[in-house]
Structure 1
């Protein structure tokens, strides 16, 4: 049986003034299945094309933070106590940082993990 899921692309926007960005990952939430996960695959060459001086280590740490918040546990700090839906809303709130969420979209799926794989293949690779 298909269930509703929500997702947002994660993108790196090195220069806020230019507004150019590269999709580097996807965060996906399915309330009915209590599922929250992300997958990030930043392409160094594409990121360097936007900004040769971009701190790729800082980008990786930001993406690792998103992953930690999705997983919960001690690495997520105090936010780990929040339910997955609240963590998804926090992750997808607009922000003016180098790693930004895109708009939230919805769909139907029987398998959120497979849907996450499909979205990463389509939006990131």
Structure 2
């Protein structure tokens, strides 16, 4: 298994009315300790968003998810969560929540290239 690295990932979900338990996938986040890699991708499908009863706008959700990206990238410097060690940032982002942005259970795998694996997961489960 030379040149293959363990990774963890979760699917990011939008739940417009948490009480109803409905959601649709809007992103993916992947962390690989051996490669010192953490990143996420997101896309909000406007047709799906309009199909759900929601008072939240696409722009609002994108701003929320950009804050998650900032945490992945350890930005901004004045954000305590963004300054945590990489594994702790990943655990914080994928922690169970009862908010409109949630994540799936964490899954594991092995890959050669975490960036490519994230793109594959994103295309398979979000787009």
- TM bucket, shorter chain: over 0.9
Alignment of 1:1-125 (within 5 A): 1-74=3-76, 77-125=79-127
1:42-65 residue CA offsets vs partner (Å, 9 max, x unmatched): 111101101253332221111111
SS of equivalent residue, structure 2 residue 62: helix
Rounded to whole Å, the distance in 2 between the matches of 1:55 and 1:43 is 11
Change (3 A) 1:22 1:75: farther
Structure 2 gap ranges (5+): none
TM-score (norm 1): 0.94
Deviation at 1:75, TM superposition (A): 6.0
1: CA distance between counterparts of 2:84 and 2:60?
25
Cα 1:68–1:75, aligned 2, differ >3 Å: closer, same or farther?
farther
Q: Which runs of 4+ in 1 moved over 3 A?
A: none
Q: Distance in 1 between matches of 2:119 and 2:78?
A: 23
Gaps of 5+ in 1: none
Distance 2:83 2:43 in 1: 27
